[in-house]
Amino acid sequence: MPMRGVGRGLTYAVGADMVGLDGFGVGSLVRIPLGRRVELGIVMGEGEEAVPEARLKRVLGLVQPFPVVRPEGVQLAIWLARYYACGLEQVFEVMIPGAVRRGMGRREGRAVRLIRSAVTEEALKGARKQREVVEFLSGQLAREIWPRALLMKRLAVSGVVLDGLVKKGVLEESLEVTERVAYGDELGAQQVGAAAHGHDLTEEQAVCVKDILESVEKRQFVAHLLHGVTGSGKTEVYMRVMKEVLAAGGGVIFLVPEVALTPQTVGRLRARFEAVSGDRVVVWHSQLSDGERYDGWRAVANGEARVVVGARSAVFAPVRNLKLVVVDEEHEPAYKQEEVPRYNGRDVAVYRAMLNEAVCLLGSATPSMETLHNVAIGKYRENRLRKRIDDRQLPLMHVVDMRREKAGVFSRLLADKMRERYERREQVILFLNRRGHDTSLNCPDCGFVAECDFCSITLTHHFRDRRLRCHMCGFETGVPSVCPKCRSPKIHYKGTGTEKVEAHVKRLLPMARVARIDADTTRRKHALREQLEAFRQGRLDVLVGTQMIAKGLDFPNVTLVGLLDADLSMHMPDFRAAERTFQLVVQVSGRAGRGDRAGEVVLQTYLPSAPPIQYGRQQDFDGFTELELKQRREFGYPPYRHLIHHLFRAANREKLDFYTRQWVRHVEPGLKERGVEVRGPAPCPVERIQNLYRYQIWYFAPSVTRVVPWLQEQRTAFKWDPEMVEVLDVDAMQLS
């Protein structure tokens, strides 16, 4: 439901019936009359003008019996709309889940509760399924009352089993407001034992925890960067700090780049806080149903749950008394939302922590240049973990110069090592950030290349379905048997994607169990989780995947990692190409040698002497950072200036050309005054997508707040051609 009533700063009268109402206040969602319609509004504060009450319209009522946004959330929304140049209503639409806005309510259902005193050997004798239920419930400290349906689903038992227990008096049944919580069947709290209770901290960890806790105790905003090599135990540090914050009555938001891709981190948090300390953890992810979303949001708003774990939008959760915001893998581009509002969850997290006078804890093995710069200028405090747990060695890195290799997919070194690992029953991960079988199809006789009908890129060959596909717009077509242009039968396939890699693994190791994880194989719900679980349990020998699986996974039996095309990210038309490549090399190598055996990494590259490969091989963060920041400063790129990207799309190229030039002429003087450098307009590297031509302008700005609101005013007032779409992206991450 769009929130048309929001964002106009309207003043309404509040009836006496509402003032004392539970849940009414700043941040409440209300129904208001607007013209002849009833719309939604957020209470932003008390009106300032002295308008006689009689002339005001009245607020009609509350949509939810709890404030859906915290008062600081209202401030956050105002800041976000200004900073990212969008409407306040668009901000509230991402801030508040649809289910909450639609006025969804709670649901009643049968729920059961374990009567511990009634559990006897006698009662459970010979009833295996019943015993399972009782054992499960005895271990659950975080919740006492369980909805029947949830229990049945989670433990795969029938209602008869529960009825049997109710009859024996072991379970008590009642009618309750039931919570639609997606419990462990999605993301299990798998770890038990040491992992659940926590390790004794290493010296390095203890120093970090102490320093961060000092900030927490000061009750002031401080941003910390926890910069720790892969496998150095960052998660343990987060959890220690969280534990203290919770013990002191505070709330926590924990952000991960994507919940589905970091099941282990989420599992560890749940194991620690639900199973051990009895704190409820709300996991906020994209596959929740509306009901689950509603219940989660309400539980947080009411203070029943104080820990929220989720992807970027979880930063808006109405956590009470927020004292800590953790951003794991803070460098991840996934934190940036690539649609309006184009916010970066990491940066919003920092701002929210500031509003709450809380601590923001950013963690990464490969921090972004922006964050490192903030450390350098003293805005953030850095805490470092330089050693892996148990002094495990960082993996041995081999760089293979692919210009000297004959075979296209695996170098001799990588093939030899793969065979060796397979014989030793150790596991291998192969990365290639390109899906499909071949990346292009061409004709050697006439030079024809198969391109998308609607975009200016080549089509990818998907072997199994015998299709050519566009990875930009989804267009697809059959595979021609002769050249469509000259009828030559000599069609050539070039380039390698994950599908071909998988086929080559099967050729090299015919008996090995291989799985592929990429956007093509994980469409089905749960497919990703199942594959990762199979690999973890050792039911697979080799995992082939795109960058999707490069982060956050901890498989102790993986002793070899191959990065098949380390240069791929280097050829992107993006000033962050070197940074991305360095991060990829380090993160990918972090997947090897996490157990007792040392790991090895084979990097295949056509540019063996490129700095990100060289520094990455030595895991030399400081060296790479110094070089990279020097170059960024020279060219005036972020983090030294903010990059604001303006993208324009239209079916007609002349129109684009004309209007973008007009626009630049119009804004250039004002921008110059504000110290902004303008580059463009120019066609984008991918000039056409879905039959729309694309142009871009880059603004390099010393400050966002001095420039963007002004630019936004100009943009709203400018007479654009109605067939043209323009998008402004502040602190842009995706440049294409």
Residues that bind ligand ADP (CB under 6 A): 195, 199-202, 205, 228, 230-236, 389, 554
| Residues of the shown chain interacting with Zn ion in the complex, contacts defined by CB under 5 A | 443, 445-446, 448, 452, 454-455, 470, 472-473, 475, 483, 485-486, 488
Select 235 or 374, whichever has its Cβ closest to ligand ADP.
235
Give min distance, CB of 556 to ligand ADP, in A. Answer: 8
Helix 708-717 × helix 653-673 angle, to 10°: 140
Task: Between 75 and 557, name the residue whose CB sits nearer to ligand ADP.
Answer: 557
Give the nearest distance from C-beta 337 to ligand ADP in angstroms: 25
Residues in the chain, overall count: 736
Burial class, 433, CB count within 10 angstroms (exposed 0-12 / middle 13-18 / buried 19+): buried
To ligand ADP, the closest distance from the beta carbon of 431 in angstroms equals 17
Tokens representing 354 are 């500031």
Burial class (CB in 10 A: 0-12, 13-18, 19+), 687: middle
Residue with smaller CB distance to ligand ADP, 233 or 608? 233
Reference 276, options 303, 307, 300; nearest CA is 307
What's the closest the beta carbon of residue 310 comes to ligand ADP, in angstroms? 18
Question: What is the C-alpha separation between 159 and 157, in angstroms, rounded?
Answer: 7
Assess contact for 80 and 348: CB atoms under 8 A: yes
Binding partner of residue 179 among Zn ion, ligand ADP, none, CB under 5 to 8 Å per kind?
Answer: none
User: In the bound complex, what is the minimum distance in angstroms from residue 683's beta carbon to ligand ADP?
Assistant: 41
The one of Zn ion, ligand ADP, none whose footprint includes residue 43, by CB under 5 to 8 A per kind, is none
Report what 236 binds from Zn ion, ligand ADP, none; CB cut-off 5-8 Å by kind.
ligand ADP
- With H, G, I as helix, E, B as strand and everything else as coil, classify residue 656: helix
Cβ proximity to ligand ADP: between 197 and 492 the closer is 197
Nearest to ligand ADP of 225, 457 (CB atom): 225
Distance CA 514, CA 534 (A): 11
Q: How far is the CB of 198 from ligand ADP (least distance, A)?
A: 8
Of the candidates 335, 397, 337, the one whose C-alpha atom is nearest the C-alpha of residue 363 is 335
Residue 606 contact among Zn ion, ligand ADP, none, beta carbon within 5 to 8 Å by kind? none
CA nearest 361: which of 222, 261, 231, 265? 222
Residue 127, contacted partner among Zn ion, ligand ADP, none, CB below 5-8 A by kind: none
**Percentages helix, strand, coil for the chain, rounded to the nearest 5?**
35, 20, 40
230 binds, among ligand ADP, Zn ion, none (CB under 5 to 8 A by kind): ligand ADP
User: Which CB atom, from 318 or from 436, has the smaller least distance to Zn ion?
Assistant: 436
Closer CB to Zn ion, 141 or 686, in the complex = 686
Residue 259: CB minimum distance to ligand ADP, A: 16
- At 568, which amino acid appears? L
The structure tokens listed for 365 are: 């093995």
CA distances from 64 to 3, 236, 291, 558 (A): 15, 37, 14, 49
Instruction: Please name which of 251, 283, 288, 248 lies closest in space to residue 269, comparing C-alpha atoms.
Output: 283
233 touches which of Zn ion, ligand ADP, none (CB within 5 to 8 A by kind)?
A: ligand ADP
Q: Which is nearer to ligand ADP, 231 or 562 (CB)?
A: 231
| Minimum CB–partner distance for residue 694 and Zn ion (Å) | 13
The item of Zn ion, ligand ADP, none sharing an interface with residue 173, based on CB under 5 to 8 Å by kind, is: none
Q: State the nearest-atom distance from the C-beta of 692 to Zn ion, in Å.
A: 11
Which partner from the list Zn ion, ligand ADP, none does 207 bind, CB cut-off 5 to 8 Å by kind? none
Q: Which of residues 520 and 554 has its CB atom nearest to ligand ADP in the complex?
A: 554
Cβ atoms within 10 Å of 334's Cβ, excluding its own: 17
Give yes or no for a contact between 678 and 698, defined as CB atoms under 8 angstroms apart: yes
Query: What does 231 interact with, of Zn ion, ligand ADP, none (CB < 5 to 8 A by kind)?
Result: ligand ADP
Checking DSSP bridges between strand 460-462 and strand 467-469, what pairing results, if any?
antiparallel
Q: In degrees to the nearest 10, what's the CA dihedral of 21, 24, 25, 27?
A: 170
Closer Cβ to ligand ADP, 199 or 379, answer by number:
199
Hey, what amino acid is at 427? Answer: Q
Give the type of residue at 139. G
> From the CB of 286, what's the least distance to Zn ion, in Å?
25
Q: Largest alpha-carbon pair distance within the chain? A: 87
